[in-house]
Structure 1
Amino acid sequence: MQEKKHRGNLATDKRVSRAKGIDRVTLTYDKDNMMCYFYLEKGSNLEMHTHIQSQSGIVIKGHIHFIKGDGEVLDLTAGDAYYFASNDPHGSKILEDTELIECFSPSRDDYKD
């Protein structure tokens, strides 16, 4: 596993399935930060989960509901940005085909392809 990836490209970098209908391309990272691009199919869901990394992102296109551990729903469409603190429970329901850019700090070892 490499420790740094200084350059990425959506057209040529490996697209990996994260869950049914949820694909990821890891674009850049070092030990402190990581940027990924996600392709989410309408009707897909991501189970409630936590991770030590803080997570921020922006919706590039589509419509998604992020559900927080306290039941709050973030209703997001293209141009909306969001943030989850370390260990903040969250899941999602994909209402339209959606694309996101997400950043994690520190990097996620499980996303280093």
Structure 2
Amino acid sequence: MDAKHRGSLTTDKRVSRAKGIDRVTLTYDKDNMMCYFYLEKGSKLEMHTHVQSQSGIVIKGHIHFIKGDGQILDLHAGDAYYFASNDPHGSNILEDTELIECFAPSRDDYKD
């Protein structure tokens, strides 16, 4: 198996993705990647796209994902979401929030 495993959340170094948005890359191979995100209340991620499809689940907190067409996904703990390849999206963090996200294929920029 060609996957990389990154240890537990408590020992992994967080990497800043943007102001108030930290990431821990948990595991990946060339086809799939799983990351844990820590998002501070009031932080934002600007509208962006990437070739990878993205699925995730809110572990705790409250987040608004904004889609390219203006639709807002109002998500709380236990809610899951999906963005297709090149589907524009951004976010506003309404409470301290934690997410688990999966990307397919893996993101080279998240391979620490």
Cα deviation, 1:20-52, whole Å, max 9, x if unaligned, reads: 000000000000000000000000000000000
Partner of residue 60, structure 1: 59
Structure 1 gaps of 5+ residues are: none
Distance between the aligned counterparts of 2:96 and 2:108, measured in 1? 27
- Same amino acid, percent of matched pairs: 90
Asked if the contact 2:6/2:12 (under 8 Å) is kept, the reply is no
Partner of residue 97, structure 1: 96
Q: 1:7-26 to 2 correspondence within 5 Å?
A: 7-26=6-25
TM-score if structure 2 supplies the norm length?
0.96
Partner of residue 70, structure 2: 71
Deviation at 1:4, TM superposition (A): 3.3
Distance between the aligned counterparts of 1:109 and 1:25, measured in 2? 14
Asked if the contact 2:33/2:107 (under 8 Å) is kept, the reply is yes
Runs of 4+ in structure 1 off by over 2 angstroms are: none
Distance between the aligned counterparts of 1:53 and 1:8, measured in 2? 24
Asked if the contact 1:8/1:26 (under 8 Å) is kept, the reply is no
Distance between the aligned counterparts of 2:47 and 2:7, measured in 1? 29
What is the CA RMSD across the aligned residues, in angstroms?
A: 1.0
Distance between the aligned counterparts of 2:19 and 2:92, measured in 1? 12
Secondary structure of the corresponding residue to residue 110 of structure 1:
helix
Asked if the contact 1:34/1:104 (under 8 Å) is kept, the reply is yes
Deviation at 1:62, TM superposition (A): 0.1
Deviation at 1:6, TM superposition (A): 2.9
Cα deviation, 1:94-113, whole Å, max 9, x if unaligned, reads: 00000000000000000000
Distance between the aligned counterparts of 1:112 and 1:96, measured in 2? 27
